[in-house]
Structure 1
Amino acid sequence: MTASAASSASASTAPVRILLSEAALRAHGGAITATIAAAMAGRDWVPVAPPAVDDARPIDADIAFVSRDVTGRSTKHEVQPATRRFYTAMLEAPSLRWTHTHSAGADRPVFGQLRQQGVTVTTSSGANASVVAQTALAGLLALARHLPQMLATQRERRWAPLMGADMPRDLHGQTATIVGWGPIGQQIGTVLRLFGMSVVVVRQRATPAGEGFETVTFADVPAVLPRTDWLVLACPLTDETRGLLSAAALDSLPKGARLVNVSRGEVVDEPALIAALQGGQLAGAYLDVFAHEPLPADSPLWTLPNVIATPHSAGFSDGNAARVVEIFLDNLGRWITQAPLRNAVP
Structure 2
Amino acid sequence: MPTPQTSCSLPKYLQDDGLTEECRDLITSLPTERGWVADHFFQYQGFWHHSRQLQGVLTCQNHFHAQDSDILLVTTPKSGTTWLKAITFALFNRWLYADDPQQHPLLTNNPHELVPFLELKLYVDNQVPDLTTLTSPRLFATHLPFVSLPTSVKDSACKLVYLCRNPKDTFVSLWHFTNKLRPAEKGTNSLEEVLDMFCRGVSLYGPFWDHVLGYWKASMELPEKVMFLKYEEMKEQPKVQVSRLAEFMGCPFSPEEEKEGVVDGILKLCSFDSLSNLEVNKSGKMSSGEEYKAFFRRGEVGDSVNLLTDEMTKRLDEITDEKLHGSALKF
Structure with greater strand share of residues: 1
Structure with greater helix share of residues: 2
Q: Smaller-chain TM-score range?
A: under 0.3
Using structure 1 for the length normalisation, give the TM-score: 0.25
Using structure 2 for the length normalisation, give the TM-score: 0.26
Bigger-Rg structure (1/2) = 1
Q: Which structure has more RCO (C-alpha within 8 Å, separation ≥ 6)? A: 2
